[in-house]
Structure 1
Amino acid sequence: MTWSPPKDYMSRPIVVLGGGVLGRRIAACFASVGWHVIIRDPSERSRADAVAYIDASITDYLTISHGKKGSWEATEDFDAAVRDAWLVFEAVPEILSIKEDTFLALEKQAPADCILASNSSSFMSRELLGKVKESTKARVLNTHFMMPPQALIVELMTSGSTASNLFPFLSQEMTKCGLKPVTAKKESPGFIFNRMWASIKREVLMVIAEGVADPQTIDRVWMDMYQSPTGPCTMMGVGLDTVEHIEENYVEKRGLPKTTLKWLHENYVAKGKLGNKSDQGGLYPVPPSGEKTKLIVLNFYQGASPGELTAETYLSSGQILEFSVENKNARPNALVSGQAVPDGIDVCDDRMYWTCMGYPPTNDGAVYSAKLDGSDIRTVIPRGHVHTPKQLHISQKSKKIYFCDREGLRIHRCNLDGSKHEILFQTGNFTKEPEKVADQTNWPVGITVSDKLGKIFWTQKGPSKSNGGRIFSAGIDIPEGSDASSRKDIDLIAKDLPEPIDLEFDEDNGVLYWTDRGEMPLGNTLNKKTIVGQPPATENKLGRQIIAQGFAEAIGLRLDKKRDCIYVADLAGRLWQCETVPGPKKKIFESAGHAYTGLAIVRD
C-alpha cells in the first residue's frame, strides 16, 4: 500500500482531541521537541487544566526529550484545530459511538494526508472506522500511550488496513520525544502490555477471592520480589470499575471465563467500592479521616538539561508540589509555580508558609503563604526585608514563624501575618561587614524549635564539604540585657560536621535530627543526637548517630510521628522515607529534572 509522510509536516501542528489526564501528557511530549500542539476539548475547565499542566510540567518532558520547547494552546473549535494538522491523537471518552463520530469528523475536516491515531485502550482502531472510507483507513492506527513522563512506552498497532511504512515513520518521530514506541505484529485486544497486566490482575483477584492471601500480603510480596514501590492491589486502586470494564472487554473478545469478573462486580463495583475514587474504598479500606498523608515539597528549579534555563528563568522556576504518600501511583500536583528559589516550608492550620531565597548575592529574599491548595498567595515578609531565607519552622503553640537568613547572617521571627518581625540572633551585619558574609561558618541555614525546652536549634553549615559545620541552641527569647548580636545563652550542640543543613526536633523523645550534605562517608546523611536524657552508646563515637546515608545533597526533612519515619528531600529530585533508627532508606519518588529542598506533612 502506497503511503508517504504528510506534506510539509514539519511546519504543521499536532492536535490532541481531549485534554484529560492522558491527552495533556501526549500534548506535552510533542511540545517538548518544538512542535506547536493544539488541544481540542469542549470543556473550558479541561482546556484550562490541560494548558496549566503543560505550563507547570514541560520541564519534566524536556528532561526526557532534550529538545527545544515548542508551543501549545487549547481550543473548543474542532474544525479550526484540525484544519492544518499532520497528526491527530484521539483521546476522547471510551464510548464507541463518540469515537466513530470523531473519526468521521476527522475524515471530513482534517487534511487528506493527516495521520489519525487512537489512544483507546479498549478498542482496536478497526472497530472505530465503521463510518469512514476504505482509503482513510490506511492512515489510521492505535497509539496506546501509558503515562508519560513516568511511563514512556507507546504501543502502535494496525487497524488492519494501516500502511506498513507509516509505523517506522511515526516511531521515529516519537523517539525524538523520548518516547519508547513498540509495534504489535498483529491486531490484539489489549495490545501487548495490557494483556500481560490483565492476566496479573485477574490472578491477583482470584487469589483474594479464594482466600489465599489478602491485598496487603500480595502487595508486600510483589514489592519485595521486584523491588517495586507499589504492588498490584495498590495499582488497581485507581479504579476497580475500570478494571471491571477492561476485563469485560477481554471476556467478550477472547472468550475468557467470567468467574473473576462476576466476583469483582458483586463484592466491589456493585457496592460502590471502586478504590481511590470512592469514599467506600476498594481492595484497601479508606484511611480514617486525618490518616491520609501528603507531602508538600519545594522544587528548587525545573532544569531539564544544562544550559536549558536562562539565568532569569532559573531563578523563577521554583514550584510547590503535592505528593500522596499512600497512593504512590498518583502523580505530583503543582500547587504553586514561578517561585524564586524556594527553600523552607511549614504548615499551620489551613495555610502553608515558605521562603524564597531569590538571587543569593542580593538582598531580595521573601516569605509567602497560601492556602493548602495553592490559592490566596500572600506576602508575609516582602522582598528585601530578608536577604536569603532558608529553612522555616512554625511553632504550632505560639503561631510564630522562625527562619534562617543565610547571607543575611540572622535568625528571624514573626507572626503568621508578618507582624512583630524581629531578629533573634545575628553573626554579623551583612551591609557593613562583607568579610563576615564571605565566611560561611557565619551562615545560619537550618532551624527548628522546641517549645517544650524553650529553645531554638540552628545550623551554621560552614563552607561546602569542609567539616566545619556546627549546630547551636539558645533560648526562644533574647535574654534581658542582650541583643541579637550579643546574647550569652548560646550552646554549641555539635561541631566539625561535614555540612549540616536542615533540622527537626522530636519533642516527645528529646532527639534532634538533621540532614548533612557534606562529603561522604559522614556527609550526605541523616543524623540524630539525644538532647534530653542519657545518650545511647551508639552516639559515643561520633557524638551523634548516622541513621541513613547515600543521599545526593540532602536538604529537607520531616519527622512523621504517626508512621514513625522521617521523610528526606535531596537536590537530585528524590524523596526518601527513612527509619528513625539506622537502616536502609526507601525511595518514594524521583524526577530527574527537579531539585527538592524543604518539605512539610499534611494530613487529610
Structure 2
Amino acid sequence: MTWQPPVIDSKRTVAVLGAGVLGRRIACVWAAGGYNVAIRDPSADQRNAAIHFIDNNIAAFAKEFKNTNPRPGDYAAYEDLDSAVKNAWFVVEAVPEKLDLKISTFAELAQKAPKDCILGSNSSSYKSRLMVGKLDEQAKERVLNVHYTMPPVRVVELMTSTFTHPEIFPFLENKHREVGLLPGTARVESTGFIINRLWAAMKRETMMILAEGVTTPQEIDMLFVELFGARAGPCAAMDAVGLDTVAFIEDNYIKERHLDGKNTVDWLRENYVNKGLLGAKSGKGGLYPAGYTTKPSTDNPSQLDNLAAPTLYVLDIGVGENVTSNFLSSGTIYTASGNGENVRKLVDGLHFPDGIDISVPQGRIFWTNMGVPSENNGSIQSANLDGSDLRTIVPLGAVHTPKQLCIDHINKKIYFSDREGMRVHRTNFDGSQHEILVKTGDFDKPTDKDDQTKHASPQCVGIAVDPKHGRFYWTQKGASKAGQGRIFRANIEAPAGATPSTRSDIELLFQNLPEPIDLEIDPETELLYWTDRGEHPVGNSVNRGYVGSDSKAVGKFDILTRHLHEAIGIRLDKVNKHIYFVDMGGSLYRSDLDGHNKTVIYSGKAALTGLALAYIN
C-alpha cells in the first residue's frame, strides 16, 4: 500500500508525550524550528517547567540549530492526551521506560491521534515492535523508534518496528534536517540503535575498569578527553544521565545478550544506585561529587553539563549604571540559566524590587516592591513564569517596606520582612489570610519612629522558613555600619494567646553583626546562611552558622567569603551543593557550600538585590 505523508498546516502539531528533561528539549527543538508543539504530561509541575524551559531557551536553540524560520512555532502543555494529540502529525513518546505503559500509550494513540499521524517512541531500550501488539495493521505501519540524543546535540536516530512503512524514513529524515538535526537510520531492528550500542559498550567497559579498581573516574575522563578531543568523559556523562538510568538500560542488554552483570550493573547498583548516589540529579553525587556537572559558560561545558543546574531569577533594583529612565520605576526581573547564559527580561517597570521567590507548581513568580521607604507604599506582586498576568497580591501600604521574600512550599505560604514597618508578614499565594507574625515597633508612633536606637535595630530585612522544624528566621539589620545586626527565629505556630508584639517564643541567635541582610536555611544540616552588607573585614560577606539542637554551637558562625560589593540576595542550590549570591555592584556569584571556588557567573551594570532558583532544566 502506498503511504501518504500527513498534511501539515497551521493547525497541525508535533506532540511530545512526557515533559521531563528530554521531552522538553525535544519540544524546544521543534518549536525553535518553526513547528507548533503540544506537550502532554499528567504533572502540573512538569508542564509548567517544560513551558518555562522553552520560554527561556527557544532563542538559544534556534541559534544553535541555525534555524532560519521567520518565527518559532507555538507551544502549549496539556494534562490530557486527547487535547495534546488531536491535531498531531507526529507524536514522540518520551514516557518512563516501562513496556506495559508504552503498549497502553500506543493503543491510545492509535485511537485518539489523526489517522495519518506518525507515531514514534524515543525509547532506546525497547524495540517499537514490542509496543504495537494492540494496534491494527494500518496503525502498525505508522510506528517506529525515533531516539533523540539529548538536545542541543544534533543526533537523532530512526529505526523500523519491522512493520514501519519504508517511505516514512526519508520523510522524517528530511523533517529533522529541516529543524537542524542530523538523522541516521538503523536499517534493521537493533537494540540501542547505532550510537547507543557504541555508547553501551563504552559504559560497560568503564564500569568494569572501576569495579576492578584499575583507576578512578577522574583519570578515565582525563585520558578520554585528551585522547579523543571530547568535551566530557564517560564517567561524567553517566553522572549527567543518571546512574539509575544507566543501570536500567544495561539490564536490557544483559537480558537480551545473556551478559554477566557482576562487574557492571550489579557493581553499579551495590555501590551507587542503592545508596541514592544517582549522579547530578540526586543531590548526593555519583561517580563524581555533587555539583560537578554544573559548569560556568567560561568552562566550555558539554551538552550533558548543567542538566541538573537551577534556573536563576534575579532582581535589578533599577539604580544601576544602565538606567536611563526614571529610577523609581526601573526595577526589572531577569532570568538566566545556571551558568549565567540565556539572560532574558521577564518583567520591568517595578518600584524598587528587593525580594523574590518562585513556585513552579503554581506557575508563578512572587516579589516585593519596597516603594519609597518614607511613604509606606510597599507592595507584593506576582506574575506567570513568563512574566505575563501581573497581579498585586498585597496592595500599596498593606506592607511598608517589604524586603526579602520566601515561600513555604509545603504549607503554600509566602513570608516577607518589612523593614520600616518593623514586622514579619505571611500570606497565601493570592494575598488572602494576610498575617503579621512579628511586630518589633509601631511606625505610626512618633516615639518608635523617631527613636533611632530602637528603630534602627528592629528593622526586619531577611526572611527564611524551615517547615521541617516548624520555624522561621529573620534578620534585623541595625543602623548603617553600627554593628547592631541580629538574627532571630520563632515558631511557625505562635503560642496560644500571643500577639505579634508579645510572642514568647522568639529566640536571639546571633548579635553584634555588622549588617545582616538576606538569609537561607538548610533544614537537613540546620545551617543558616546569610549575607552581610557591613564594612570589611567582617561585612560584605557570606556567612554560615549552626542553629540546630546543639546549644553550644548556636551563636558561632564562619565567614565563608568576603570582599563583595553591598551583598544582598542569597540562595542555596541543595542539589548541586552550591551557594548563589548577588550584590549591588551588579555581580552574580556561585561558590561551594563552604565558600570555596567563588566564581562570578554574571556581571553587568545593574544593581542586583533579590535572587531565586528553580529546577526546570
TM-score (norm 1): 0.55
d(CA) in 2 for partners of 1:49, 1:17? 14
Quick check: 1:79 aligned with 2:82? yes
1:167/1:129 Cα in 2 relative to 1: closer, same or farther (>3 Å)?
same
Check whether the contact 1:296–1:600 (CA below 8 A) recurs between aligned residues: no
Check whether the contact 2:356–2:610 (CA below 8 A) recurs between aligned residues: no
Shift of 1:52: 2.5
Partner of 1:368: 353
Partner of 2:511: none
Cα distance per residue 1:472-506 (max 9 Å; x no partner): xxxxxxxxxxxxxxxxxxxxxxxxxxxxxxxxxxx
Partner of 1:233: 235
Shift of 1:23: 1.7
The DSSP-based 3-state class of the residue aligned with 2:184 is strand
Partner of 1:377: 367
Question: Equivalent residues in 2 for 1:345-424 (5 A)?
Answer: 360=324, 363=327, 364-366=329-331, 367-371=352-356, 376-380=366-370
> Quick one: which amino acid aligns to residue 274 of structure 1?
L
> 5+ residue gaps in structure 1?
298-322, 345-353, 386-393, 395-399, 401-413, 425-447, 457-506, 514-554, 573-594
Cα distance per residue 1:3-23 (max 9 Å; x no partner): 121135554222222222222
Question: Equivalent residues in 2 for 1:523-542 (5 A)?
Answer: none
Question: Equivalent residues in 2 for 1:251-330 (5 A)?
Answer: 251-259=254-262, 260-278=264-282, 281-284=285-288, 328-330=305-307
Identity over the aligned pairs, expressed in percent?
A: 39
Shift of 1:245: 0.9
Partner of 1:59: 59
Partner of 1:170: 172
> 5+ residue gaps in structure 2?
332-351, 360-364, 376-403, 405-418, 420-458, 463-475, 482-531, 541-558, 566-585
The DSSP-based 3-state class of the residue aligned with 2:109 is helix
Check whether the contact 1:119–1:145 (CA below 8 A) recurs between aligned residues: yes
d(CA) in 1 for partners of 2:5, 2:113? 15
d(CA) in 2 for partners of 1:74, 1:296? 30
Check whether the contact 1:324–1:330 (CA below 8 A) recurs between aligned residues: no
Q: 2:148 aligns with which of 139, 145, 149?
A: 145
Partner of 1:452: 536
Cα distance per residue 1:118-161 (max 9 Å; x no partner): 1112111111111112222222111111222x322211111122
Q: 1:179 aligns with which of 181, 195, 207?
A: 181
Quick check: 1:94 aligned with 2:72? no
Shift of 1:86: 1.2
Partner of 1:122: 125
Shift of 1:82: 2.1
Quick check: 1:195 aligned with 2:176? no
Check whether the contact 1:294–1:601 (CA below 8 A) recurs between aligned residues: no
d(CA) in 1 for partners of 2:610, 2:236? 24
Check whether the contact 1:174–1:181 (CA below 8 A) recurs between aligned residues: yes
Cα distance per residue 1:521-548 (max 9 Å; x no partner): xxxxxxxxxxxxxxxxxxxxxxxxxxxx
1:600/1:144 Cα in 2 relative to 1: closer, same or farther (>3 Å)?
farther
Partner of 2:583: none
> Quick one: which amino acid aligns to residue 203 of structure 1?
E
1:560/1:71 Cα in 2 relative to 1: closer, same or farther (>3 Å)?
closer
d(CA) in 2 for partners of 1:451, 1:257? 63
> Quick one: which amino acid aligns to residue 35 of structure 2?
W
1:74/1:558 Cα in 2 relative to 1: closer, same or farther (>3 Å)?
closer
1:450/1:99 Cα in 2 relative to 1: closer, same or farther (>3 Å)?
same
The DSSP-based 3-state class of the residue aligned with 1:151 is coil
Check whether the contact 1:208–1:214 (CA below 8 A) recurs between aligned residues: yes
1:381/1:204 Cα in 2 relative to 1: closer, same or farther (>3 Å)?
farther
Check whether the contact 1:156–1:182 (CA below 8 A) recurs between aligned residues: yes
d(CA) in 2 for partners of 1:599, 1:142? 48
The DSSP-based 3-state class of the residue aligned with 2:149 is strand
1:219/1:100 Cα in 2 relative to 1: closer, same or farther (>3 Å)?
same
Partner of 1:27: 27
Shift of 1:183: 1.8
Check whether the contact 2:38–2:77 (CA below 8 A) recurs between aligned residues: yes
1:136/1:563 Cα in 2 relative to 1: closer, same or farther (>3 Å)?
same
d(CA) in 1 for partners of 2:598, 2:323? 30
Partner of 1:495: none
Shift of 1:596: 12
d(CA) in 2 for partners of 1:81, 1:509? 49
Cα distance per residue 1:18-49 (max 9 Å; x no partner): 22222222222222233322222223332222
d(CA) in 2 for partners of 1:294, 1:415? 34
d(CA) in 1 for partners of 2:213, 2:110? 52
Check whether the contact 1:100–1:129 (CA below 8 A) recurs between aligned residues: yes
For these two proteins, the number of residue pairs brought into alignment is 404
Check whether the contact 2:357–2:366 (CA below 8 A) recurs between aligned residues: no
1:560/1:82 Cα in 2 relative to 1: closer, same or farther (>3 Å)?
closer
1:379/1:356 Cα in 2 relative to 1: closer, same or farther (>3 Å)?
farther
1:160/1:10 Cα in 2 relative to 1: closer, same or farther (>3 Å)?
farther
1:132/1:202 Cα in 2 relative to 1: closer, same or farther (>3 Å)?
same
1:293/1:94 Cα in 2 relative to 1: closer, same or farther (>3 Å)?
closer
d(CA) in 1 for partners of 2:590, 2:268? 39
Which has the higher mean CA deviation after the structures are superposed, 365-374 or 26-35? Answer: 365-374
1:182/1:265 Cα in 2 relative to 1: closer, same or farther (>3 Å)?
same
> Quick one: which amino acid aligns to residue 242 of structure 2?
G
Shift of 1:188: 1.1
Question: Equivalent residues in 2 for 1:386-535 (5 A)?
Answer: 451-452=535-536
Check whether the contact 2:242–2:281 (CA below 8 A) recurs between aligned residues: yes
Partner of 1:333: 310
1:218/1:82 Cα in 2 relative to 1: closer, same or farther (>3 Å)?
same
Shift of 1:294: 7.5
d(CA) in 1 for partners of 2:282, 2:602? 34
d(CA) in 2 for partners of 1:146, 1:162? 22
Alpha-carbon RMSD = 5.0
The DSSP-based 3-state class of the residue aligned with 1:248 is helix
d(CA) in 2 for partners of 1:60, 1:559? 23
d(CA) in 2 for partners of 1:62, 1:145? 17
Partner of 1:158: 160
Cα distance per residue 1:83-128 (max 9 Å; x no partner): 3321111112211111111111111222221111111121111111
The DSSP-based 3-state class of the residue aligned with 2:137 is coil
Quick check: 1:69 aligned with 2:93? no
Quick check: 1:249 aligned with 2:252? yes
d(CA) in 2 for partners of 1:37, 1:21? 16
d(CA) in 2 for partners of 1:293, 1:112? 43
d(CA) in 1 for partners of 2:301, 2:606? 16
TM-score (norm 2): 0.54
The DSSP-based 3-state class of the residue aligned with 1:117 is strand
d(CA) in 2 for partners of 1:508, 1:95? 46
Partner of 1:12: 12
